């Protein structure tokens, strides 16, 4: 997690020296911009998130992956379903968000949250900065899930100044929460495939252990691209997790093809 630790050291140093929300947003956004396209940093974020998932899907509430109240922030990865628009809300604290995977739109509204004022479209590597007050919503207009990394203001005195976020609409939380554990694992596999590093196999092994049988096969496919022999071992192991004869036959056939490819 060296890249992530360097990021934390950089953002801590910058935030402690900032004196206004505008300065904090700028330094947090600029620091995140420097790291967010680095595969080693992204994989560190994945690893931290996977560590929070060890107790299983029923207990997972997508907690923060980093927090430093003294420096004044916490960080959380967000996993946006395809064709999903989040609830409209007002930010009363500064926030910075970076697009990690695929794309997300940020929609600004008037103060009442009734009229769309402006829309920004962000792709992987883009950074959005919020200086309060700001009324907005996020929307994934694509056909695949999107992932963002948010840095929220959080200080010892935060609660003395009212709620960090005021929700203007509250209709989408259930849809966002549904299936988030599996959606996150699927997104991780996609992100690892897109930018492999020396830690990819370790991360894919962890995903394999946490995943449902169908998701295990996706993790194995990604493993096999990097290390066919390791992928084959996991594929043989996955056979025992399957119940349906058709699924077992498909996996057995895939294992045979992989053995032939390894021997070739």
Directed axis angle between helix 200-210 and helix 39-51, to 10°?
A: 30
pLDDT value, residue 126: 98
pTM of the complete model? 0.89
Stretch among 133-147, 177-191, 197-211, 236-250 having the lowest mean pLDDT: 236-250
Q: What is the mean pLDDT of residues 184-208?
A: 93
Q: How far apart (Å, rounded) are the C-alpha atoms in residues 28 and 32?
A: 6
214 or 6, greater pLDDT: 6
Q: What is the mean pLDDT of residues 246-264?
A: 70
pLDDT value, residue 201: 94
pLDDT value, residue 261: 67
Band of residue 41 on the pLDDT scale cut at 50, 70, 90 = very high
pLDDT value, residue 147: 98
Band of residue 15 on the pLDDT scale cut at 50, 70, 90 = very high
Q: What is the mean pLDDT of residues 235-255?
A: 72
pLDDT tens, 59-77?
899 999 999 998 999 999 9
pLDDT value, residue 63: 95
Q: How far apart (Å, rounded) are the C-alpha atoms in residues 12 and 211?
A: 34
- Candidates 167, 172, 254; CA nearest to 217 is 254
The DSSP H or E segment spanning 236 is helix 228-238
- Residues 81 and 175 sit within 8 Å (Cβ to Cβ): yes
pLDDT value, residue 166: 92
- Candidates 152, 123, 105, 125; CA nearest to 32 is 125
| The most confident of 131-135, 138-142, 162-166, by mean pLDDT | 138-142
| The most confident of 46-55, 157-166, 194-203, by mean pLDDT | 46-55
pLDDT tens, 111-121?
999 999 999 99
Q: What is the mean pLDDT of residues 90-114?
A: 96
């Amino acid at each position: 997690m060296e890249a992530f630790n360097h990021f934390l050291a950089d953002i801590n140093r910058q935030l402690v020296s900032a004196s206004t929300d505008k300065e904090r947003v700028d330094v947090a956004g600029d620091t995140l911009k420097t790291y967010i396209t680095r595969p080693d940093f992204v994989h560190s974020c994945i690893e931290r998130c996977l560590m929070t998932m060890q107790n299983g899907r029923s207990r997972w509430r997508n907690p923060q992956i980093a927090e430093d109240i003294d420096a004044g922030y916490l960080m959380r990865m967000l996993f946006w379903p395809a064709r999903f628009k989040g609830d409209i809300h007002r930010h009363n604290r500064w926030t910075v968000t970076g697009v990690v995977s695929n794309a997300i739109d940020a929609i600004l509204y008037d103060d009442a949250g009734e009229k769309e004022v402006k829309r920004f479209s962000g792709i992987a590597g883009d950074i959005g900065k919020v200086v309060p007050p700001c009324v907005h919503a996020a929307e994934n207009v694509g056909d695949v899930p999107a992932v963002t990394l948010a840095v929220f203001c959080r200080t010892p005195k935060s609660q003395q100044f009212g709620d960090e976020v005021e929700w203007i609409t509250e209709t989408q939380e259930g849809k966002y929460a549904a299936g988030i554990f599996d959606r996150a694992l699927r997104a991780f596999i996609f992100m690892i495939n897109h930018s492999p590093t020396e830690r990819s196999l370790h991360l894919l092994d962890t995903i394999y252990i946490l995943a449902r049988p169908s998701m295990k096969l996706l993790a194995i496919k990604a493993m096999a691209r990097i290390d066919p022999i390791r992928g084959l071992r996991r594929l043989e192991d996955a056979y025992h997790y399957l119940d349906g004869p058709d699924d077992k036959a498909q996996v057995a056939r895939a294992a045979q093809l992989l053995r032939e490819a390894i021997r070739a």
